[in-house]
Structure 1
Amino acid sequence: MDYQINEGSFTIPANAQDRSVNMLLLNLGPGGLTLVATRDQVQQGEDLDGFVTRQLRVLASQVKGFKEHERAALTVGSAQLPAMQLASSFKQHGASMHQRLTVIRLAGSAVLVLTMTCAAPLNAEQDAYARQLLDSFVPASGPAQ
């Protein structure tokens, strides 16, 4: 199977699972804004809320002062894909970090996790961009990895 990235493509085994990570420094607003896109899979019988809870247990064990502020179900993009969004904050290396994590359910058991991180709570401009980003999401055609 050909695997496409921005820089080109290469051949990988057909049974390979995509667990790649993309990190974009958006530099939007005070405190900067970073977008990280990761790929994962829900476990058999697990819904998006269960996936988020499982992932948060891992995160909370790796950082100090983890606080979940808000969790909500929503739909994303023109395909109205089911998603779960979580706002949280924590301390990492002594600095406060604020995150908005959105888990989007794709085909089969695949999920796309979009995490926006900022050194300050998201301001109105960053919040508007986050919504625009989710509204603009168009899933790739073909089977999910």
Structure 2
Amino acid sequence: MNYQINEGKLTLIDDLIDESINIIKFPARQASLVISRAVLNQDQTEEAYFAWQMAALKRNMKRFLLGERKATILGVETENHKAIAAFETQLQFEQKGVVVHQLLLSAQLPSSMRLLVLTYAQGRPITELDKQFWQSIKTSFVAV
């Protein structure tokens, strides 16, 4: 199997499960985008995975606030590509004395048990400009 990364590709001969994490920093915005992947357990749903992750954050972080979970779309539907149904929420918590503000999207990839999670994070409250940037990230996604 060829495993593609930004720097090149690896040819891997064993089966694998991709639970990798990418961290992209935006210095001018003082923000980051974390892209993580997970595989659901046999009987687990995306919603149950999300609830489990949020419960862990609530347990481990101070001043945890979770916004409403809303349906959204990852990508844009075109003739050649399908958009992916997803859910997003806004949250904040205190970590090591710093209040972290996040926009989080979770999508179960079609016909699979794989999840893709995008987290936009910064150390200041989310503004309308931040939400516009977040929207541009979501609409720029093209599934391969």
Q: Same fold (TM over 0.5)?
A: yes
Q: CA offsets, 1:5-43, max 9 Å, x none?
A: 1111112244200111110111354xx211000000223
Q: Which residue of 1 aligns with 2:16?
A: 16
Gaps of 5+ in 2: 77-81
What root-mean-square deviation, in Å, do the aligned CA atoms of Structure 1 and Structure 2 show? 1.5
Q: Which residue of 2 aligns with 1:46?
A: 44
Matching residue within 94, 99, 105 for 1:91: 94
**How far apart are the structure 2 equivalents of 1:54 and 1:85?**
15
**How far apart are the structure 1 equivalents of 2:15 and 2:3?**
12
Question: Please, what TM-score do these two structures have when normalized by structure 2?
Answer: 0.88
Mapped pair 1:3 → 2:15: no
Q: Which residue of 1 aligns with 2:66?
A: 68
Shift of 1:55: 1.1
Give the AA of the match of 1:76. Answer: L
Gaps of 5+ in 1: 141-145
Shift of 1:54: 1.2
Mapped pair 1:59 → 2:57: yes
Structure 1 residues 106 and 64: CA distance shift in structure 2, 3 A? same
**How far apart are the structure 2 equivalents of 1:12 and 1:65?**
43
Give the AA of the match of 1:87. Answer: Q
Q: Which residue of 2 aligns with 1:119?
A: 123
Structure 1 residues 111 and 4: CA distance shift in structure 2, 3 A? same
Q: Return 38-47 or 64-73, whichever deviates more.
A: 38-47
Q: How many residues align?
A: 138
Contact 1:28 1:126 in 2 (8 A): no
Give the AA of the match of 1:96. Answer: V
